[in-house]
Amino acid sequence: MSYSDGTRVVHAGLPEAAVGDPFLPGPVFAAPYHLDPADGQTGDNGYGRPDNPTRRRLEGAIGELEGGRALTFASGQAAITALLLSTLRTGDTVALPSDGYFTVRSFAESTLRDLGVRTVLVPTAGPYPDFTGVRLVLLETPANPGLDVCDIAEVAATAHAAGALVAVDNTTATPLGQTPLALGADVVVASGTKALTGHSDVLLGYVAATDAELLGKIETWRKHTGAIPGAFDAWLAHRSIATLDLRLARQTGNAAAVAELLAGREDVSGVRWPGLPSDPSYAVASKQMRRIPGIVSFDLGDAQRVARFLTAASLVFAATSFGGVHTTADRRAQWGDDTSPGFVRLSCGIEDTVDLLADLTAALDQA
């Protein structure tokens, strides 16, 4: 039976019901597992690094939502570097979003360059180059922090025709916002630290794909490097996924109201939210995405005004992560992002919309 999103996230990765067993198993920590005393053979679990039942349950849940098999990592950066290092070799070329997560570009310009991998930077909104000779095309849509959107199916078809693999960073959208594997991508990578788990209390990353050989390479890399999430983090993440649909519904609703408010103010410029009919990405996002994330970006002109705005706000915390239940804002230029000094990425939480709008209005008026 095909269920709706709210039902899917509540039941994703749960074990078969058994009398006396809990709905969601607790964390199995890094204790040794019993071996067969006769021949030393293992059951499902042999050693804590590659084998952990709590982590497998989480991977089962994420895999159900993404439409493939999932591997979890200690962070989103661990997941994306595992993908890059397990698929790229000396002499290869990788296409990366020029407006995506800046640490990925930094990794490419240092570690990958030193390994002899060439990087091509491409804006998320295009235009896209000829992918002939490119080994891997990484898309991030909506892009963080500028929120441009690209047509995954269209780019994937072009890249595949040139012989390239296609990966999509699905951090901002989450698997309830879009499913890149169903749109033609070969692999999905994401930070589960953000909206997927949504409580700002766990670090997590994952890779998902349907290609067993590709996943096997990535899994071997994870086994050798040890970039795994802890069992307790995996348990926290699985527990949190159950409320994903509810959290996203409020965050998206808040973002729609906030974007409309900001777009109507003369003292705010550059408002971006792909759900606004006036947004440059609206047409593609409306066709491709099942829901728009709770992230809004805008410009307050300079760093001092951003600081006054954040000081005046009571419900908006200055923080550099996003996707949590509390509304946060980040001036991205302070971290080296190629954004203007007054650019703000606002991550809407699950506060009541009327309270959030009132707080934002008062803070902007004071700033």
Give the residue numbers marked as catalytic. Answer: 49, 101, 169, 194
Q: How far is it, in rounded angstroms, from Cα 194 to Cα 62?
A: 14
Give the angle subtended at the CA of 171 by the CAs of 278 and 342, to the nearest 5°: 55
Q: If 0-12 CB within 10 Å is exposed, 13-18 middle and 19+ buried, where does residue 79 land?
A: buried
DSSP E strand boundaries for 293-347: 295-299, 317-318, 328-331, 343-347
Q: How far is it, in rounded angstroms, from Cα 194 to Cα 172?
A: 8
Q: How far is it, in rounded angstroms, from Cα 251 to Cα 243?
A: 12
Nearest to 55 by CA among 175, 228, 173: 228
